[in-house]
Amino acid sequence: MGRAALAPPTMSTPSPIERYVVIGNPIAHSLSPAIHARFAEQTGEALSYERLLVPEGAFAEHARRFFDAGGAGANVTLPFKVDAFEFADAASERAAAAGAANFLAARGARIEADNTDGIGLARDLETNLGIALAGARVLLVGAGGAARGVVAPILERAPALVVVANRTVSRAREIAEHFRARGAIVAAALDAIPAERFDLVLNATAASVHGEPLALPDRALQAGALAYDMAYGSAADPFLARARARGMRASDGLGMLVEQAAESFFLWRGVRPPTRSVLASLRGR
């Protein structure tokens, strides 16, 4: 699975600017190139970061071509996070726990996978939104790749309880079973959520991006708690409007996107970029 190591730069050939991409389908909407361009500007790192549209079912072939041509790293989004994990020669513990990767890096002859979504969410909640996860009661709605990727970092912070609820309850049960040893986590069907007072309700379903209503009972949305939709921009509006109407604080997932990008940038470049200013500028403030 490996690729030839890059030839070391010589005095007469200045080292080329390292190339990064975000791979997905669709990908035209991705904000990642703009985010990484701002990080590069603010840290003085010279790199290029572009979108790479890959046909469904052809991830490995296109990723191989990119890395064989000297590509330094890739972020990976829908629907390829599992393919990215399987493509890599080695994976971090957090990618292995999620069974999905949003990050690939060429390290010598190997391609290494990681998953920065979970730490991105945790940083947005803790640093940008001032939420303490320790002791919190968390409702995690959804059981796809995004939900799976955030469970371990949430449980690491010792919440009182995580209820993972999903339309297809068997997928929620799989997650609860998989992470059981790491903390207090139980599964529920979307229409049978236990009557808890949740401090944080995370929408990790694709309902928002599909423009579909989320069949979540109102009693799960209680005044004073935070509702967080991992989708961002106008896609998140219906869920956030519903939460605000119930007296909740509400946030979309733009901060998570910026924070996972910052973690990726750090893993590739060894430099931690500023995130608050980038998030503020993306929000137009």
List active site positions.
81
CB nearer to ligand NDP: give 88 or 235: 235
**Given 24, 145, 153, 273, the residue binding ligand NDP (CB under 6 A):** 145
Long-range contacts of 205-208 (CB under 8 A, 24+ apart): 205/141, 205/142, 205/144, 205/166, 205/167, 206/142, 206/144, 206/231, 207/239, 208/235, 208/236, 208/238, 208/239
Q: How far is the CB of 269 from ligand NDP (least distance, A)?
A: 19
Q: What is the DSSP string of 190-240?
A: TT-------SEEEE-SSHHHHT------GGGS-TTSEEEESS-GGGGHHHH
Q: How far is the CB of 252 from ligand NDP (least distance, A)?
A: 8
CB nearer to ligand NDP: give 34 or 160: 34
Please give the residues from 174 up to 233 whose contact with ligand NDP meets the rule CB under 6 A: 204-210, 212, 214, 230-232
Q: How far is the CB of 141 from ligand NDP (least distance, A)?
A: 7
73: β partners? 20, 105
CB nearer to ligand NDP: give 70 or 99: 99
* Whether 188 contacts 161, CB under 8 Å: no
CB nearer to ligand NDP: give 3 or 173: 173
- Interaction pattern, residues 52-91, with ligand NDP; x per rule: CB under 6 A: --------------------------x-------------
3-state secondary structure of 176: helix
* Whether 138 contacts 226, CB under 8 Å: no
Tokens 């799960």 correspond to 220
- Interaction pattern, residues 234-253, with ligand NDP; x per rule: CB under 6 A: -------------------x
Residue 260 binds to ligand NDP (criterion: CB under 6 A): yes
CB nearer to ligand NDP: give 138 or 230: 230
Cα separation, 226 vs 142, in Å, equals 17
CB nearer to ligand NDP: give 260 or 275: 260
Count of other CB atoms within 10 angstroms of residue 236: 23
Residue 143 binds to ligand NDP (criterion: CB under 6 A): yes
Instruction: Give residues with Cβ within 8 angstroms of 264, minimum separation 6.
Output: 73, 75, 102, 103, 114, 116
* Whether 239 contacts 229, CB under 8 Å: yes
Please give the residues from 109 up to 128 whose contact with ligand NDP meets the rule CB under 6 A: 117, 120
Residue 151 binds to ligand NDP (criterion: CB under 6 A): no
The tokens describing 186, both together, are: 């139980």
Contact residues toward ligand NDP (CB under 6 A) are: 78, 117, 120, 142-147, 166-168, 171, 204-210, 212, 214, 230-232, 253, 256-257, 260
